[in-house]
Structure 1
Amino acid sequence: MSINFVKKARGLFAKPAVEQPVSNSRREWLAKMSVPAIGATVGMGLMGKRASAFGIDSRPDDHTIGAKVYNIRDFGAKGDGKTLDTKAIQAAVDACTKDQGGTVLVPAGTFVTGTVELKSNVRLYISAQGILLGTADGKQYYAADAIPLSGDSTLNDGNVGLFFAVKANNIIIEGPGTIDGQGSQFRSPSKGVMPPAGITGPHRPYHLLFHQCKNLTVRDIYLLNSAFHSVRVIQSEFVKMEGLHIRGRVINNNDGFHFISCRYVHLTNCDVQSQDDACALFGSCKFVTVDGCSFSTRWSVFRFGGGEAENITVSNCIIYETYGCPVKMRCGPGSRFENISFSNIIMRDVTGPVSIGIGLQNGQSADPKKAPGIIRNISFNGITATVVKPVPLRETEHPSVYNPGEIFSCVTLNAMDDVYMENITFNNVQITFPGGGTTEQGAVRDVPKVAGEYYQIGVPPAYGIYARNVRGLVLHNVSLSIAATDERPALIFDHVEDAAINGLNVQGDAKAESVCRLTDCRDILMTAARIKGAAPVFMRVEGRNNYRIVVDGGDISKASKALELAAGAQKDAVKMRII
């Protein structure tokens, strides 16, 4: 390309002479071209193919620095669905970041690729008919060695990405196009047999992998069939995920979003259909908002594990066909979960709607160097849920096997020994449970002291809410119903202190021992309670350590007996003023 050509190109934008007719002015020329066309022309056409790769646009007087378009076809990409285009895509990214950023354009076509590293100031735009197709050849993926590996879930258990970035700033991935990971090629046909791609376990690529990045935006794209988690973000800040459609049900641990120790994260208007955790927040995630999203999965939607998670809000979301646990918090020794709010959530056809636990998981040994976990200030406001018996997840390539604790599930607040969770609030909550529990299941007192998966305590003895070791529990306008008979109590408190229950609307069963069962509880105030359906006993109080339990007002007339004392409970521990 000659300097004269560049001068002529610049001449197109020169100020016209005074005597020049309006019809030949730059105004008319600009009006005839769309904004994208101008950008493409300035970025590539006027400079010639692959101009940026040769440094022509690095001139100090080039006014388009940082705003050029780098079409991957101009770097050799074929987009025929067969040719491996990794080198061409990487070359476009490298040229873009070298020229102080711009847009790497994926036009229409199917571009097969292995691992590509994204870099600072790069905007990857995938056009509507553009597909980035992860190759089924596992040899084309490589690990990002700068991302440390650890079996600790608060750090990382994989460092391979289809697209990845490390310590990069100002990255945008957007457009109406698709990134397809061909995840089924990474699934073993049978145990011990290598999958078609030739790699398995943590060597499989995530769709998108980011480590210690800042100012990261991903929006509007379709993320299909990842070989591992779809979006994994580690120790990054100022992250926006907007308008994404994630669908991954081809391999067991198809997570949707997986954040590890991230801050200032905002998810809006995303739709996730996953096989595993839909939105995991591990490690020390802080200042996180999730709004206007929908989720469906076999396992958990919002899963918290390890670290210090705080200042998080989830609002205006729909959780449907989730046959695991919509909200699952597992707080082991040394961890802290605090100031987390869920509001305006619809849960339709789910199991185990809320499970919060502090303590050791099965097989885990106590570490004397770590303090017990802390959970406090967790609120649920405006929740409507329909709990069902689990069924196979639609459109998944995996069979579903369910544990007894998943078939019979409830809201579980489970701390143990001398550890208490604090300040848990349920406000304006309506939950319908499937029923089917037996008298024997409801008679269980020795609930296993584990805080692993929500179902590991076995069949919960309550059909509605089971709370153990909770201090500062508020239930306001909570309605618990059953679709079929259930012979378990609706509500069981075990070592609960400082609880305020107002406007409890609960369904009883004629064969259940009681509607509510309290064991060694203190400072409980229940007002305006109401029973739907006949019941033999409204409240059964057990144990010698109950103190200041007050039931004031309400209508429990459908219970044959208001109060029953057992296992050494004292009459003066309970005061009732009811209809």
Structure 2
Amino acid sequence: MPTKSVALNDATSARPLQSPITRRDWLTRAAAPALAAGLAYPLVAGAGTTATGTVGAPPASDIRAPHFFDIRAYGAIGDGVTLNTAAIQAAIDAAHEANGGVVLVPSGTFLSGTLELKSNVTLHLATQGKILGSTRAEDYHAGRAIPRGNGNIVFISAADAENITIEGNGTIDGNGRAFYTGRGDNTGPGQNSADGYYQRPHLLIFSRCKNLRIRDAFLTAAAYHGVRILNCERVYLDNVRVHNRVNKNNDGFHIVSSRYVHINGCDVTCQDDACALFGSNKYVTVANSTFSTRWSIFRFGGGEAENITISNCVIYETYGCAIKMSCRANSRFENISFSNIIMRDVTGPISIGLDSVRRRQRPGDAQRPLIPGKVRNISFSHIRGTVVAHGRQFADMHWEQGYRPGEDRTCITLNGVGNDFLENISLNDVHFTFEGGGTEAESRLRDVPQIAGEYFEIGDRPAHGVYARNVRGLTLDNIRIETVKPDLRPAVVLDNVSDAALLNIAAQGNVNAPSTLRCIQTTDTLISAPRLLTPAAVYLAVEGERSAAITLEGGDLRKAAKKITHDRGATPSATA
């Protein structure tokens, strides 16, 4: 098929060029009737001007504007019925073979199966343009060179490519409800992933790509994950809107072992992880975005994740765990910052777990040396939130959302297991209002299960605000913890924590609760300028024979009947 490209030439216009032609000019003119009619004439973008402003001859090495490839010129029909896979792919291939170009998806609904994007190709979605996924499984296949993990059947993919862009105010719709069976991929605790449902297309997958951009588009209704970015470099996701709530495992962004990734101005509502950061992601920024999901927003797991900042984001209606980090053997999470975040109506606000004891054996584990996991230098600052006690049903999910034991009445959880310790964790200027309702039985919890996999696996929390176990170097500064309903659990529980500073902690007490703050086997801890907001029987309960060098100074504890008690082997010498 001959190349059907369209380019516009202002050299043929009666009006001389006064300035170089911009990309916006090209797109505006590409939408003109001349383009719709398939007319083609070259646009010279590099024509020079003389001192008097008139157009001079272009230099010998003039740079021409990229060609535009209207998918209708290749036979695509936007009636929502005709299958256009071959036509759209032909336009992509032609743009690639022309050393780059813009593939235009004009107004209309263009039904398609699996497509492959290629180097130097921009897929431009007109405002009323939509690429709609076929409802037939036979119209999809594994993406070329896409790894098999989590399935590699895909709607649109690219591998080993560079300079790829998806742009415009149009839509990519996976039609994913057609693939709903009620089954997921079975990758959660206690599930057998061998029985998982993988024979359904992800919406977008990019593997080993460089200089990838997605901007302004609406991505919706995937049959599986939304956007998978695997081992890519220089990734820019700007002003993207994602609505992905028609199937199980409907992730938003799923980023694996990628570098120089920047997410800005996006709005993501999904069913599963909204912004998963798995593997060895480095040099990542997420900013100025909003998120909502049934499960987790920012989820970390495996690999060596470091040098990541997440800021100026709003998290709302998230009934799993808003920020979830699960680190195991041979993994390291380091230098990660969360700042300026609003959480409205979430269940688990923050959970960090470290457990180097493998729960599941994987192929090759016996041959790998066991290196203890590391979690250190993680900071949270300027965070405000409201935490609900129970998850809720989403109006835009067509199946009932089930909730597990351990997802109710949760708190900020910093959870090291066995010989694993979190290091240098700080929370500064963090204010949360919890729904409350914690029971007397929950307040008596001491032997919390030694597990740090999924956030819900440890079961009930012994605190309603912050529970920290196995932490070295903990800073809580300007923390305010309130409850809507009475809660009989302490606001803060430290268990086997050392080198801690609790500064300017304001918390509600309860005269029927055992204490407001509990320290178990805790050492080298400064509690300075605390404020007790409502009456309490005891402010600080110190427990365990190894508790030592705990200093309580200053503050306003007039509402406490007793400031300090010592129990379960702790002696008065543990506090000063």
State the partner residue of 1:408: 409
- Quick check: 1:382 aligned with 2:385? no
d(CA) in 1 for partners of 2:28, 2:183: 51
1:94-493 aligned within 5 A: 94-149=93-148, 156-188=149-181, 201-359=197-355, 363-364=359-360, 369-389=369-389, 390-493=391-494
Secondary structure of 1:352's aligned partner? strand
Deviations 1:81-129 (A, max 9, x none): 1000010000000000000101000000000000000000000000001
- Are the structure 2 counterparts of residues 37 and 217 from structure 1 closer, same or farther at C-alpha, using a change threshold of 3 Å? closer
**Identical amino acids, percent of aligned pairs:** 46
In structure 2, give the amino acid aligned to 1:312: I
Q: Which residue of 2 aligns with 1:57?
A: none
Q: Which moved more, 1:313-322 or 1:532-541?
A: 532-541
Unaligned runs of 5+ in 1: 16-23, 52-60, 150-155, 193-198
Aligned partners of 1:43 and 1:64 also within 8 Å: no
The whole-number CA distance in structure 1 between the counterparts of 2:435 and 2:30 is: 58
d(CA) in 2 for partners of 1:308, 1:221: 31
Deviation at 1:64, TM superposition (A): 7.0
Q: Aligned letter for 2:522?
A: C
Partner Cα separation in structure 2 for residue 494 and residue 86 of structure 1: 58
Distance change in 2, residues 1:11/1:462 (3 Å):
closer
For residues 323-347 of structure 1, what are the alpha-carbon distances to aligned partners after superposition, in whole Å with 9 as ceiling and x for unaligned? 0000000001110000000000000
The one-letter amino acid of 2:106's match is P
Distance verdict in 2 for CA 1:352–1:191, change over 3 Å: closer
- The 1:299–1:10 alpha-carbon spacing in structure 2 relative to 1, beyond 3 Å, is closer
Letter in 1 for 2:131: L
Greater fraction of residues in helix: 1
Q: Residues 173 and 217 of structure 1 are in contact (CA less than 8 Å); yes or no, is this contact kept in structure 2? A: yes
Measured in 1, the distance between the counterparts of 2:117 and 2:334 equals: 34
- Asked if 2 retains the 8 angstrom alpha-carbon contact of 1:358 and 1:374, the reply is yes
Counterpart of 2:530 in 1: which secondary structure? Answer: strand
Note the 1:498-537 alignment, pairs <5 A.
498-537=499-538
On the 8 A contact 1:213/1:236 being kept in 2, the answer is yes
Cα RMSD for the two superposed structures: 2.9
Aligned to 1:18: none
| Aligned-partner residue type, residue 455 of structure 1 | F
User: Is the 1:280–1:302 contact (alpha carbons within 8 Å) kept by the matching residues of 2?
Assistant: yes
What is residue 569 of structure 2 aligned with on the other side? 568
Cα 1:359–1:286, aligned 2, differ >3 Å: closer, same or farther?
A: same
Q: Which runs of 4+ in 1 moved over 4 A?
A: 9-12, 24-28, 37-51, 61-66, 189-192, 360-363, 365-368
Q: Retained in 1: the 8 A contact 2:289–2:314? A: yes
What is the correspondence of 1:17-32 to structure 2 with a 5 Å cutoff? Answer: 26=16
Spell out, residue by residue over 1:552-578, the C-alpha distance to the aligned partner (whole angstroms, 9 max, x if none). Answer: 101111111111111111211101xxx
Conserved 8 A contact 1:536-1:559: yes
Give how far 1:201 is off: 2.2
Q: Give the 3 Å change call, closer, same or farther, for CA 75–340 of structure 1 in structure 2.
A: same
State the one-letter code of the partner of 2:159.
V
Counterpart secondary structure, 1:487: coil
- Equivalent-residue separation in structure 2 for 1:264 and 1:10 (angstroms): 35
Q: State the secondary structure of the residue aligned to 1:123.
A: strand
User: Which of 474-483 and 563-572 deviates more?
Assistant: 563-572
State the TM-score, normalized to the length of structure 2: 0.88
Shift of 1:439: 1.0
Paired positions, count: 539
CA distance in structure 2 between the aligned counterparts of 1:65 and 1:78, rounded to whole angstroms: 29
TM-score by length of 1: 0.88
Q: Would you say the 8 A contact 1:296–1:322 is kept in 2?
A: yes
Cα drift, residue 12 of structure 1: 8.1
Q: Note the residue ranges of structure 2 that are not aligned, 5 or more in a row.
A: 43-59, 186-194
SS in 2 for 1:441: helix
Q: CA deviation at 1:252?
A: 1.3
Return the alpha-carbon distance in structure 1 between the equivalents of residues 413 and 481 of structure 2.
14
Q: After superposition, give the CA deviation of every residue in 1:207-250 in whole Å (9 maximum; x if it has no partner).
A: 11100000000010101111111110000000000001100111
Q: AA paired with 1:376?
A: R
Q: Relative to 1, partners in 2 of residues 1:563 and 1:37: Cα closer, same or farther, differing over 3 Å? A: closer
Aligned-residue offset at 1:44? 6.3
Q: What amino acid is aligned across from residue 465 of structure 2 in structure 1?
A: G
Higher alpha-carbon deviation: 473-482 or 390-399: 390-399
Q: 8 Å contact 1:360–1:452 — kept in the other structure?
A: no
| Conserved? CA contact 1:307–1:336, under 8 Å | yes
